[in-house]
Structure 1
């Protein structure tokens, strides 16, 4: 028997967060503040019971892709996002000067 797990990422602009759901259960979020065309990602968390599944990477990838599509630059107050951008050079052009 195969069990299919579905991950879904939603942007909640009113709360300034991106959320990741696993089978409709909130598993984590990436929060940001937004000023003058820059989204400062300042907190990323995945609930411990969902750890080790690569969810933070999926979440940050989706958040940065959406941010690029919406025309924003980024700042990386969150250490996870900072390390992610350092390792994934295709996102370095998003860094605000």
Structure 2
């Protein structure tokens, strides 16, 4: 399966690379787009669970790395969920 790294900028200005075991992330995010934190989190949950399920369908087990990435995203979003103006920027995709 083709993997993808998507780079994001958090509301505090920090940037990080996030992992997806599938290109499905392209169906949920657009590079250069800003997302309210709650929407970014919702889309990440959908995309990474879908990617993990694609791994399960192909190999018989979910992708622990995708699920771990989702946990990390949830932790990174948590401090900003109560801020209506907080945005996460999707900067780029790299496959």
Q: TM-score, normalised by structure 1?
A: 0.35
Larger Rg computed on CA atoms: 1
Q: TM-score, normalised by structure 2?
A: 0.35
More strand by share: 1
> Bigger relative contact order, structure 1 or 2, given CA contacts below 8 A and separation 6+?
2
